[in-house]
Amino acid sequence: MAPFAILGLDHIVLRVADPARSERFYLEALGCRVVKRQEKLGLVHLDAGSALIDLLPGGEPAGNNVDHFCLWVEPFDEDAIRAHFAQLGIAVEPAKQRFGAEGTGPSIYLRDPDGNGIELKGPAAA
């Protein structure tokens, strides 16, 4: 047994091919905001609720930079989510009930410009 408990996602680091394009995606499509930049590394830290998404130059488009990461979102209104991403020209899969850290609830998958998978997950059914 580990001497600690995981409380949630702290951060994820993604290697990205075009840092400016990826930053725009996370700001405009997901509503993140820049909280810090480390110019020497080209690293940008984005606020994603209680966690951070870090973008680091050096990924390959559609590469295996990461399989996917999951962000808890609320409210989970599939129609509104689909309309938002359609307006941005971003394809999303239909929502399905999937298991996560808080139980089974609705989720939807999409990909960022570098092919990294993103799961947006709503609250678990009571």
- 24: domain CATH number is 3.10.180.10
pLDDT digits (tens, 9 = 90+) for 60-75: 766 667 778 999 888 8
Q: Write down the pLDDT at residue 63.
A: 66
Residue 88 lies in a domain: yes
Put simply, whether the predicted model's pTM sits higher than 0.85 gets the answer: no
Residue 2 lies in a domain: no
Is residue 88 within 8 A of residue 29, CB to CB? The reply is yes
Provide the residue range defining the domain that includes 18.
11-121
Mean pLDDT value of segment 84-101: 91
Number of domains in the chain: 1
Q: Write down the pLDDT at residue 62.
A: 60
d(CA 97, CA 105): 5
Residue 115 lies in a domain: yes
From residue 60, give the alpha-carbon distance in Å to each of 17, 67, 85, 90, 126: 5, 13, 23, 19, 40
Q: Write down the pLDDT at residue 114.
A: 85
Q: Does an H or E element contain 31, and which?
A: none
d(CA 115, CA 110): 9
Residue 48 lies in a domain: yes
DSSP β-bridge partners for residue 107: 96, 121
